[in-house]
Amino acid sequence: MGFEKLIDVLLEFIDLFRFWQVVDQYEEGVVLRLGKYNRTLGPGIHWMLPLALERAMLDTVTVRTTAMSSLDLTTYEDQALRLDCIVRWKIKDIYKVLLETEGVDDVLKDATYATISKVVRAHTWDDIIKPDFSDTLTKEARKRAFRYGVEIEAVEFGDLVRPIHLALLS
C-alpha cells in the first residue's frame, strides 16, 4: 500500500509541471487563474500556466437525458395524478454552470420540478392529457433553467396516471 501512495504523490508532483489542457469535442470549460475566472475553453489544446497557477474545470456539453422521479400532484380541479418525466437538456453557458451554480443536475431537477408543479396545478386533467401539453411544460421549464446556463430541449411524460381510487370516483 505504501508503494501505491508513493506513485500517487509522484504523479501529482509531475502534474504540477503540465502546461497544457486538452478539451475534447464534447466538452467546454473555464480556466481559473489563482482561483479567479480567466477564460473559457472550447475543444482543442490550450496552454496553461504550470505549478497550479491555472486550473481547468470541464464539463460535457452534449445532450443529456434525465429521468425525474415520480411526482404526485393535483390539477386545477383537484384531480390527483402521478407523473414521471424525462428531461432532455444540455449545458448552454459553461461559465454559469461551473461558476454560478452548485451541481447542474440539482439545478435542473429543482427548476423542472417547480415548473411541472406550477403548470400542472394551473391546468385541468383534460388539458394535461393533450399531446401538446409537454410543449407547454418544456417552454416554462426552459425559461426557468436558462438563467442557470442550462437549455432544456424537451420535457416529456414517461408515465401519466390518475390514481385508481380517485379515477373511479370521477
Q: 78-124 pLDDT, tens per residue?
A: 888 888 889 999 999 999 999 999 888 888 888 898 899 999 999 98
- Whole-angstrom distance, CA of residue 95 vs CA of residue 40: 7
pLDDT in tens, 62-75: 999 999 888 888 88
Considering the domain 64-167, what is its CATH architecture? 2-Layer Sandwich (3.30)
Asked if residues 92 and 60 have their Cβ atoms less than 8 Å apart, the reply is no
Contacts of 136 (CB under 8 A, 6+ apart): 119, 123
Ordered by start, the domain boundaries in the chain are 2-60, 64-167
At 156, give phi and psi (nearest 5°): -130, 150
